[in-house]
Amino acid sequence: MRKENYSISDVAKILGVSKSTVSRVINGKSGVGKELRQRVLDKIEEIEYTPNTIAQGLSKGTVSIVALILGDIRNPFYASLAFNIQRILDDSGYMVMVFNSEYDAKRELEFLKFTEQFHFAGLILITAQQDGIESMLNSMQLPTVLVNRILPSYTGDSVLIDNFKAGYIAVMHLIELGHKHIGIIKGPGVSSASSQRFEGYLQALRNYGLLFHKNDVYDSDLKMETGKELAYKFIKRNEPRPSAMVIVNDMTAYGFIDGCRENGLTIPDDLSIVSFDNIETSAMSGIELTTVSQHVNTMSEHAAQLMLKQLREKDTKPERIILEPTLIVRNTTAPFLGA
């Protein structure tokens, strides 16, 4: 019967050789005779021995694993980023370990400490929060890439879209359709992407002399269920409601649209909606969401290549890659027909 978790010590004991001999064979090092080397290899194959990657890394000072920290693996945008990054790094001999923070800064800090403790090869951070994360990143001696987020004092590699422009073009689309009362659902205040999109929203209103109402701003945590809850608040408003809404991401938009439809609002006749991310399901029949594409495939390609650059070369010059957002017009926006 196969033993599930053999160690180097177990293999050495079975063969009656030293642990260093087994280790040399496993790692392809010289100093072991041809016949003995073959005996070790045969036994490893027979018992299906699998090296402990973490243990090996601790002895060498690093492991060939890149940590990927994201906010919510259920969100197809993050899932696509993770899938593409993992595929590229795997082709280059690196494993990817995904950590799901649920947008919790404390959990992100714990994950950062974990990557240091176990000597990971690198770190890709997709949902960087500002609470305590920034100072720790600056002190870590670890190849790091930020994706779709930026922190004020962070000077390392990063890839993101122009989130200010993304917010601006979303509002411009609605203005061009004749909407003058435009609301917004923001993301967490600690998210640079959310903050920059909000600034783009405000700038578009200013440029066209449209009034800004504090009551038209809603806060969210980027989750679909929160979008639905906000729809109920929106429906119950006593004061005039906006004729159009800009929503921080597609998942929140799904929930908001669902809540609106359950309460008798027709999208887009009664309310136009534009969002961000352009996840695959947004193009499906029945959803057909107008959204701003972040070019997830290009973003993940750049993130993986920036990481590989750091892993392969020392003292590389940091890069900040900023992608152009693209508005994808579908069926959740329409011309304003009111007075």
Residue 2, pLDDT score: 43
Task: Look up the pTM and report it.
Answer: 0.81
Q: What mean pLDDT do residues 238-261 have?
A: 96
C-alpha R_g of the chain: 25
Q: What whole-number distance in Å separates Cα of residue 26 and Cα of residue 45?
A: 11
Residue 183, pLDDT score: 98
Looking at the chain, the domain(s) classified CATH 1.10.260.40 span: 8-51
In the chain, how long is the greatest CA-to-CA distance? 90
Which comes out higher in pLDDT, residue 192 or 29?
A: 192
Q: What mean pLDDT do residues 249-265 have?
A: 96
For 125-139, the pLDDT digits (tens) are 987 666 578 888 888
DSSP for 41-53 reads HHHHHHHT----H
Q: What whole-number distance in Å separates Cα of residue 170 and Cα of residue 188?
A: 19
Q: What mean pLDDT do residues 223-233 have?
A: 96
Residue 104: Cβ within 10 Å count: 15
Task: Say whether pLDDT at 119 is over 90.
Answer: no
In this structure, are residues 148 and 187 in contact, taking their beta carbons and an 8 Å threshold? Answer: no
In this structure, are residues 228 and 256 in contact, taking their beta carbons and an 8 Å threshold? Answer: yes
DSSP label at residue 30: S
Task: Say whether pLDDT at 31 is over 70.
Answer: yes
Task: Say whether pLDDT at 170 is over 90.
Answer: yes
For 258-313, the pLDDT digits (tens) are 999 999 999 999 999 999 999 999 999 999 999 999 999 999 999 999 999 999 98
Q: What mean pLDDT do residues 141-165 have?
A: 91
Residue 235: Cβ within 10 Å count: 14
Looking at the chain, the domain(s) classified CATH 3.40.50.2300 span: 60-161+296-323, 163-294
The domain covering 60-161+296-323 belongs, at the CATH homologous superfamily level, to Response regulator (3.40.50.2300)
Residue 22, pLDDT score: 81
Written as one letter, the residue type at 37 is R
| Sign of the alpha-carbon dihedral angle for 29, 34, 38, 40 | negative
Average pLDDT, the chain: 89
Pick the closest to residue 279 from 76, 132, 3, 135 (CA basis).
76
Residue 129, pLDDT score: 63
For 36, residues 6+ apart whose C-beta sits below 8 A from its C-beta are: 17, 21
Q: What mean pLDDT do residues 226-231 have?
A: 97
Burial of 161 (0-12, 13-18, 19+ CB in 10 A): buried
Pick the closest to residue 43 from 9, 11, 16 (CA basis).
11
* 3-state DSSP assignment of residue 56: helix
Q: What whole-number distance in Å separates Cα of residue 287 and Cα of residue 330?
A: 9
Least confident of 2-16, 221-235, 304-318: 2-16
Alpha helices in the chain (DSSP H): 8-15, 19-26, 34-47, 53-60, 76-91, 105-117, 133-139, 163-176, 192-207, 224-235, 250-262, 296-312
Burial of 101 (0-12, 13-18, 19+ CB in 10 A): buried
Q: What whole-number distance in Å separates Cα of residue 321 and Cα of residue 278?
A: 20
Name the pLDDT band for 3 (thresholds 50, 70, 90): very low
Burial of 242 (0-12, 13-18, 19+ CB in 10 A): buried
Written as one letter, the residue type at 193 is A
Which comes out higher in pLDDT, residue 41 or 125?
A: 125
* 3-state DSSP assignment of residue 209: coil
| Best CATH choice for the domain 163-294 from the list 3.40.50.880, 3.40.50.2300, 3.60.20.10, 3.40.50.720 | 3.40.50.2300
DSSP H/E element including 18? none
If phi over 0 gives left and psi between -120 and 50 gives alpha, with beta otherwise, what is residue 124?
Answer: beta
Q: What mean pLDDT do residues 68-95 have?
A: 93
Structure tokens at 269: 């006749």
Write down the CATH number for the domain with range 8-51.
1.10.260.40
